[in-house]
Amino acid sequence: MSQMMVWSINLFVLSIGILIAGMIKPKWIFFWVNNPTRLQIQLLVAALFMGGAYLYGEAGLEKQQRQEVAKAELKKVIKETPTIAPEVKK
pLDDT tens, residue by residue, 68-83: 888 888 888 888 877 7
Look at residues 42, 51, 47, 46 and name the one whose alpha carbon lies nearest to residue 21. Answer: 42
Number of domains in the chain: 1
pLDDT of residue 53: 93
17 in helix, strand or coil? helix
pLDDT of residue 68: 86
Residue 89 belongs to a domain? no
Is the CB of residue 17 less than 8 Å from the CB of residue 49?
no
Residue 65 belongs to a domain? yes
Task: Quote the CA–CA distance of 28 and 84 in Å, as a whole number.
Answer: 71
Instruction: Tell me how long the chain is.
Output: 90
pLDDT of residue 82: 77
Residue 73 belongs to a domain? yes
Question: What tens digit of pLDDT does each residue of 12-50 get?
Answer: 999 999 999 999 999 999 999 999 999 999 999 999 999
Residue 13: HSE in the Cβ half-sphere, 13 Å Cα cutoff: 6
pLDDT of residue 65: 82
Q: Which residue has the higher pLDDT, 82 or 54?
A: 54
Range of the domain at 70: 3-80
pLDDT of residue 42: 95
pLDDT of residue 75: 85
51 in helix, strand or coil? helix
Task: Quote the CA–CA distance of 48 and 71 in Å, as a whole number.
Answer: 35
